[in-house]
């Protein structure tokens, strides 16, 4: 059981916009930044969004993040086949004094 | 370009201690105010943060693993390490090392190793 809650799966067709939610609590998302990681099959996770809505250099602007209260979302617009991957949200948890992750969302591009 | 590489035994017997090393290249492990973390992922499952060590040597651990985890830094070799004691089959996973951006900058885990599979079995 993950501290942060994500839907196990999401899907969309090429060109569509898809959103993935991440729900937490006041001790993690409610009081700290949210991060999103993309994990392509058989590879290590890659930082996709930091500080709720910032993109590292090289991440396309098709990816965007937002946060409100104790929830956050990752949006992917102009969906492409190469976006098919697992996506994880993460945040620091003040109560646990550690990082917590969501259970991951498997994105399928139909 | 910073690179991280995990190394260590791929097979550990139950009740023994799992030991892994992460070698950092492309930059000094002691420069900057970075945190160095261990994260694991059982097959087909999600990510679990194990713990981190700061360049000063201070540590934070996942409460669920804290009693069994030890991390350390060897600046002379540009490496940091993980020891997980009393392992069981539940500790079988791909283990990643990762760099967390400087204290106060909130960059997240910006560099990751490729991961190493550790299987706990007799």
B86 vs B102: which has the higher pLDDT: B86
Mean pLDDT computed over A10-28: 98
Contact call for B46 and A51, based on CB within 8 A: no
Cα B17 to Cα A29, A107, B20, B68, B92, distances in angstroms: 34, 36, 10, 9, 12
Please give, rounded to a whole number of angstroms, the shortest distance from the CA of B76 to a CA of chain A.
27
Q: Are B89 and B120 in contact (CB under 8 A)?
A: yes
Angle A83-A37-B91 from CA coordinates, rounded to 5°: 115
Note the pLDDT tens digit of each residue in B32-53.
789 999 999 999 999 999 999 9
- Given this model, what pLDDT does residue B105 score? 84
CA–CA dist B45, B43 (Å, integer): 5
Mean pLDDT across chain A, nearest whole number? 97
Q: In the beta sheet, which residues pair with residue B38?
A: B51, B97
Please give, rounded to a whole number of angstroms, the shortest distance from the CA of A50 to a CA of chain B.
6
In this structure, what token pair is assigned to residue A6? 């994500």
Nearest-by-Cβ selection for B110 from A47, A99, A100: A47
Mean pLDDT computed over B83-111: 94
Mean pLDDT computed over B14-40: 95
Contact call for B47 and A97, based on CB within 8 A: no
Please give, rounded to a whole number of angstroms, the shortest distance from the CA of B95 to a CA of chain A.
10
- Given this model, what pLDDT does residue B106 score? 85
- Given this model, what pLDDT does residue B33 score? 87
In A, which residues are within 8 Å of B97 by CB distance?
none
């Amino acid at each position: 059981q993950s501290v942060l809650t994500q839907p196990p799966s999401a899907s969309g067709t090429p060109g569509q916009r898809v959103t993935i939610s991440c729900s937490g609590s006041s001790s993690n998302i409610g009081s700290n930044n949210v991060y999103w990681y993309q994990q392509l099959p058989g590879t290590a996770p890659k930082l996709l969004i930091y500080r709720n809505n910032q993109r590292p250099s090289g991440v396309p602007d098709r990816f965007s993040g937002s946060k409100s209260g104790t929830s956050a979302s990752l949006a992917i617009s102009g969906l492409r086949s190469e976006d098919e991957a697992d996506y994880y949200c993460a945040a620091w948890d003040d109560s646990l004094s550690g990082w917590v992750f969501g259970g991951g969302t498997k994105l399928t591009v139909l | 370009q910073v690179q991280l590489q995990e190394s260590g035994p791929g097979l550990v017997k139950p009740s023994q201690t799992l030991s892994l090393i992460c070698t950092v290249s492309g930059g000094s492990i002691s420069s900057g105010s970075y945190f160095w973390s261990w994260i694991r992922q059982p097959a087909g499952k999600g990510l679990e943060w194990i713990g981190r060590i700061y360049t000063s040597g201070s540590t934070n651990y996942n409460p669920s693993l804290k009693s069994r985890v030890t991390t350390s830094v060897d600046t002379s070799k540009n490496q940091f390490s993980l020891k997980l004691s009393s392992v069981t089959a539940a500790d079988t996973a791909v283990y990643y090392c990762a760099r967390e951006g400087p204290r106060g900058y909130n960059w997240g885990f910006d560099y990751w190793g490729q991961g190493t599979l550790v299987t706990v079995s007799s």
